[in-house]
Structure 1
Amino acid sequence: MKPTRFETAIALIDKANTEDINTYQVFGIDYPKELLYSQRMTRKLLQFEPNASRALQIAARAQHICRWKIARDEYPMDRVGYLKWRETLKKMHAELTADILKQVGYDAEYIDRVTLLINKKFIKKNEESQMLEDTVCLVFLDYYFEEFAAKHPDEKVIDILQKTWKKMSAKGHEAALQLNFSDKNLSLIKQALEG
């Protein structure tokens, strides 16, 4: 049976991400970092919102497509440099995804919808944009937070938790509090939420 446009788009996003030069180890196995991240995004989105639209699923899968191609150190290592880097990345992710969607036959209106989601426009105003942001935050909290917290002082961890919490919806908060955290990090989360 011939794969659908959606299946082909997902396969092409994955193919691009398998080229990641960075790896991330899980249970002793090295994975291309952004391929693993994109699969975690899909898994978390469908746990969080089982009826997520195909457009939202594509945006989640392509959230970090080819992220390694624009290194953080190409921009000043301050807040302004960080924000500029993030904006440039979003634009690249959206353009690469738009090219894939064109290639598999999606129309301009559909491509614009996915691009809008990847560019994180209208968070808090657009339901799908908010779902995507919640998913990004949940993936961070579930898969990367413990490692992040181990490398940074508590004050920085609390600050990041507060910023993450602000971006999330009430439904996202509820899902976040169901995740498993170490006792130390659970205590940091409580401090962040009380702050």
Structure 2
Amino acid sequence: MSVGRAHSALIRRLFEIGAIRFGEFTLKSGITSPFYIDLRVVISFPDVLEQIGVLMAAVVARCGGDRVGGIPYAGLPLAVAASLAGRMPLIYPRREEKGYGTRRRIEGQFKAGERVVLIDDIITDGASKLEAIQPLEEAGLVVKDLVVLVDREQGGRELLAARGYTVHPVLTISQCFDEGERAGLAPAELIRQSREFLKASRFA
């Protein structure tokens, strides 16, 4: 599937800044991958972060909702960028409850019944998304949609769909590979190996 000019420009920048790398990497799920998407580096490149914010905000707008929610830690700066680009209020669930002060599980202002569009950097198996959704729903917020920058296309999107959540990726890893190969940003053999890995390691 082809991508638009803005998406193509973003993919090229992701390769240039080392956000998409090839090698041998152990993922959070425990599997070894021949490529790694390190979107934490984008905070050091304001132009890239701004690009991401604009593209994510456009997807969030199509989802509707009252607030965006950033998933710590990698998804939070992307959510801030999208919040600023789309002028939408931001909240985020803490990974752990504060043991002092307000003892909040969720930072930011909200009302029960409001609809939150969650934002994260990437989706692999979807487990971390469910962890982030739980405290929001327990607080009375409604979560139906999640926006991720990159879908690794390993089944996480489908697994969340089975639980009633819709994942909207700005980019898929296939689109990144296609653009990287077309622009000569990565060796064709490494991309081929990575594509084969994806076919053999889906969770759903």
Q: Fold match, TM over 0.5? A: no
More helix by share: 1
TM bucket normalised to smaller: 0.3 to 0.5
**TM-score relative to the length of structure 1:** 0.34
Please identify which structure carries the higher strand content. 2
**TM-score between both structures, scaled by the size of structure 2:** 0.33
